[in-house]
Amino acid sequence: MRQFLSTWFRPLLLYALAAWFVVWTMAPVLWIAVMSVQPEINYVSVPPQLSWNDLSLRWYAEMLGEADVVAALRNSVVISLATMTCCLVFGALAAYPLSRLQLPRKNWFLTASIVLRMIPSMVLIIPMFLLMRQLRLLDSYLSLVIVYTTFLLPYVIWMLKNFFDQIPYALEAAARMDGCTRLGALFRIMIPVAGPGVVATAVFAFIGAWNEFLFGLILSTRLAVPITVKLSALVGGTFHSDTSLVAATGMLAILPVVVLVFLLNRYIVRGLVEGVKY
């Protein structure tokens, strides 16, 4: 009986839990996708009266025809790419010495950076708002990039340090013997060898910046409004009474991240699961 349970029951239970998790995660997204291509009357009926003949992309076309939505998508792309770049540059410059040099209290620094990140964002809203107002950076890309980078950087440093730790020191030593400086070894040896891990970290930073809502809501009013804030205005406001329009906007906010993860899926898996390849 024990052998039977070990051979059949445990794998079956594992697959059942995995399938339940996938359905639980994907069902809301799939339902929003259905809502975005069906008239509202079809899916509010009990039971829903979904029809292939009613499939239409007119709600996407209508939302993409609105300048505010297009501007919000552009803002999110610019802010997320800038945040990702800043996180990778500053994160690599911080992770390299933490990985390679015998710095005093570096473990304390790593622990403190994560512990401080555990502070709820709501506690820091007012200080951040007052600081950006004093610097006259409210409603600008720069204010959001600074804040997003500040909150994502501890995670990026931890991730990059772990990837750098897996690279043999002999590779760096050989580069140093050939005349590379430490900075040259970082950009010519460490980052290329840890390529999958760097890609996984970049995607993590991009998604973190793309999905951020609270600081975008407080620090932007008109010019730098990201798509998450624009979507909340559509859901909570009275601009559109058609739920299909809101669902189409939600899908427009989801699709860039889905496409990015789909295109870089191989590198993300290698970086997060398999580690660095030599």
Residue 1 lies in a domain: no
47 belongs to a structural domain: no
User: Does residue 249 contact residue 231 with C-beta atoms inside 8 Å?
Assistant: yes
More confident residue, 218 or 113: 218
The pLDDT confidence band at residue 5, using thresholds 50, 70 and 90, is low
pLDDT in tens, 123-181: 889 999 999 999 999 999 999 999 999 999 999 999 899 888 888 888 888 888 888 88
145: Cβ contacts below 8 Å, ≥ 6 apart: 79, 82, 83, 86
Range of the domain at 223: 66-274
State phi, psi for 264 to the nearest 5 degrees.
Answer: -105, 15
Question: Residue 17 domain-assigned?
Answer: no
Flag whether 30 is in a domain.
no
Residue 229 C-beta-side C-alpha neighbours within 13 Å: 24
Contacts of 21 (CB under 8 A, 6+ apart): none
Binning pLDDT at 50, 70 and 90, where does residue 120 land? confident
Angle at 18 between CA 13 and CA 24, to 5 degrees: 125
pLDDT band with cut points at 50, 70 and 90 for residue 233: confident
User: For residue 44, what pLDDT band results from cuts at 50, 70 and 90?
Assistant: confident
- What is the Cα–Cα distance from 201 to 91, expressed in whole angstroms? 10
pLDDT digits (tens, 9 = 90+) for 49-89: 888 888 888 989 988 888 999 999 999 999 999 999 999 99
Cα–Cα distance measured from residue 196 to residue 238, given in angstroms and rounded to the nearest whole number: 45
CATH number, domain containing residue 206:
1.10.3720.10
- The pLDDT score that the predictor gives to residue 229 is 92
Closest to 73 measured CA to CA, from 224, 178, 261: 224
Q: How many domains does the chain have?
A: 1
230 lies in some domain: yes
Domain assignment present for 18: no
pLDDT of residue 131: 92
Flag whether 118 is in a domain: yes
Residue 234, both tokens: 């559509």
Rounded CA-CA distance 15/12 in Å is 5
Pairwise CA distance, residues 200 & 202, whole Å: 5
Band (274; pLDDT cuts 50, 70, 90): low
Residue 50 lies in a domain: no
